Amino acid sequence: MLYGLRDLRVEDIDIPNVEAGEVLVKVKSATTCGTDLKIFQRGYIEKVIRLPTVFGHEWAGEVVEVGEGIEWPKKGMRVRAGNSAPCLRCTMCRKGKYNLCEDMIWLWGAYAEYIKVPARTVLVNMQEIPQHVSYEEAAITEPLACVLHGAEEADVKLGDTVTIIGAGAIGLLHLLTAKKKGAGKIIIVDLVEERLKLARKLGADETINAGQENVVEKVQQLTSGYGADVVIEAIGLPGTWERALKLVGKGGTVLEFGGCPPGTEVKVDAELLHYGEVTVRGAFHATPLHFRKALELIASRTIDVRPLITRKMKLEEINEAFKILSTTKSEIKIAIIP
Ligand SMILES: [Zn+2]
Ligand SMILES: [Zn+2]
């Protein structure tokens, strides 16, 4: 059991002071995320988060204070903001690769009563939440934004057979997105039966329990010996990255979506890339445009994220929430209510 490697506490801290251009939001709901769990269990790239810190990054709430010079948003407005804001000036931003910005501002601190949103984030990555959308749903904008970016890279076409490894929140969001993109058949792989059950409920055509079945053989069988057109790895382990390469058919695309620990190397069969013309792609994070689209898709229920919130817990129970996520695997997302 990995739980306990990191020290997570609920503490009283001062409500942040709001400076020019900044916005203070009362957090109404913050959802748990695999990334938080990973950081909690094993740490993360220093660039993105420096511990100790207030934790959590998927949230939505109500504006309670605005800094000098702010015309939008207004006090009382229901809002969400992304956990990143690109600089719009660096080489990557100039290439339009805003998710790879070299001077990104990251925003942590969702598991708290209040969160202060930096001026740049207010400007490039904050949105008003439509009245009919709950705070819990709006909090899921962030993972959906990442999935939309990944989906563009995976480029699922009408009628494609798609295999998704992992039926956690990210795998399930990929499932919902691939369905909307017109996938013909979606096969989803996981070790946890409850998750596979939910995947079937959300539209997976076939599910494979990797603990009970030979995944490579089963995918071959379900694709008439051909392999999938698109394979999406949504776990973030070297073993599953390599497995993804074994499930794809000739001319297909593998999207390695789950982040592995820095320094991880994986084996790729050169024959697969050359004679099989397989494309292997990675995807990291999302751009402000993906965030905007994600909230719109949630609001129109084109992508209905409500079934992914499997439990609600109070902020004081945050340790218990991560313990549950670490051990049971049956919960998808827990909404933390301050
Ligand atoms: Zn997240
Ligand atoms: Zn930049």
Ligand with the closest atom to the CA of 93: 2
Answer yes or no: do 165 and 98 share one domain: no
Residues 27 and 101 in one domain: yes
Q: CA 59, CA 43: separation in Å to the nearest integer? A: 21
Ligand nearest to the CA of 34: 1
The model's confidence at residue 48, banded by pLDDT at 50, 70 and 90, is low
Q: What is the CATH number of the domain that holds 197?
A: 3.40.50.720
Domain count, the chain: 2
- pLDDT tens by residue, 182-194: 999 999 999 999 9
**Triad 292, 318, 176: Cα angle to 5°:** 35
Q: How far is CA 263 from CA 45, 112, 133, 140, 260, in A?
A: 11, 32, 40, 29, 8
Q: What share of the chain is helix, strand, coil (3-state, %, to 5)?
A: 35, 25, 45
Q: How many helices (H) and strands (E) does the chain have?
A: 12, 15
Nearest listed ligand to the Cα of residue 88: 2
The pLDDT value recorded for residue 49 is 67
Please give the pLDDT value at position 94: 98
Has this prediction a pTM greater than 0.85? yes
Same domain, 56 and 83: yes
**What is the whole-number distance in angstroms between the Cα of residue 120 and the centre of ligand 2?**
12
Q: pLDDT band at 328, cuts 50/70/90?
A: confident
Is 4 a residue whose pLDDT tops 50? no
- From 47, 102, 50, 107, select the one nearest 80 (Cα to Cα): 107
Please tell me the distance between residue 192's alpha carbon and the centre of ligand 2 in angstroms.
Answer: 39
Per the structure, the complete domain to which residue 217 belongs is given by 146-282
Q: State the Cα–Cα distance between residues 324 and 317, nearest whole angstrom.
A: 11
Q: Are residues 120 and 36 in the same domain?
A: yes
Looking at the structure, do residues 265 and 184 belong to the same domain, yes or no? Answer: yes
Neighbours of 146 (CB within 10 A): 24
Q: Read off the amino acid at residue 57.
A: H
Does some domain include residue 166? yes
pLDDT band at 45 (very low <50, low <70, confident <90, very high): low
Q: Do 218 and 232 fall into the same domain?
A: yes
228 and 245 belong to one structural domain: yes
Q: Answer yes or no: is 298 within a domain.
A: no
Among 22-36, 47-61, 264-278, 309-323, the minimum mean pLDDT is found in: 47-61
The band of 334, judged by pLDDT with boundaries at 50, 70 and 90, is very high
Q: Are residues 152 and 254 both part of a single domain?
A: yes
80 and 155 in one domain?
no
- Beta-carbon neighbours within 5 Å of ion ligand 1: 33, 35, 58, 142-143
